Amino acid sequence: AKDYELRQYETAKWVSTVIRGETQKEAMRQGFWKLFHYIQGKNEKEMKIDMTVPVTCLVKSGCTDFKISFFVPFEHQDCPPQPTDSDVFIEERKAAALFVRSFGGFASPEKYAEEADTLARTLRNRGQSFHEDFFYTAGYDSPFKLFNRHNEVWYFKK
């Protein structure tokens, strides 16, 4: 479709942390730094790991817990180093079909919510079945990149 795509993702490992009781913007900030420290060597192997994209944030309706995640690079998928911060964990996300809406610019929590609402409305209008109680935000760019920014919102297909 011109305003969204359906993607199939394979099973993969992500390094994640859950930030509770903060605004989404503050949760993203805190979560990013916890995960950044992990890839900078705060792990059992004291190994530096390349930064990957996207950085995702799980947003559940009516909930102030946000799960922030970095994709584990392909070369570490089989055996990622374990985090030494008890708030950071490795999770395996099962293969899934995702409805994805892309947009540019600097993405605020409000902009992500607006794009997710637009995607949900479009999917409902087209009779698509999806998990409506949560979505992921996906950011692909450094905060220092000013132009041609790429952001996404993801809903899981039922």
Q: What is the pLDDT of residue 143?
A: 84
* Fold for the domain defined by 5-156: Multidrug-efflux Transporter 1 Regulator Bmrr; Chain A (3.20.80)
Query: What are the angstrom distances between the C-alpha of 29 and each of 7, 34, 96?
Result: 28, 9, 27
β 96-103/65-71 pair status: unpaired
Only one residue has tokens 């011109």, namely 2
Reported pTM: 0.96
Query: What are the angstrom distances between the C-alpha of 115 and each of 77, 91, 157, 158?
Result: 31, 26, 17, 20
The token duo for 142 is 């450094």
Delimit the domains of the chain by residue range.
5-156
The token duo for 107 is 């993405």
What are the pLDDT tens digits along the chain (158 aa)?
A: 789 999 999 999 999 999 999 999 999 999 999 999 999 999 999 999 999 999 999 999 999 999 999 999 999 999 999 999 999 999 999 999 999 999 999 999 999 999 999 999 999 999 999 999 999 999 999 888 999 999 999 999 99
DSSP code of 2?
Answer: -
Query: What are the angstrom distances between the C-alpha of 96 and each of 31, 101, 103?
Result: 24, 16, 22
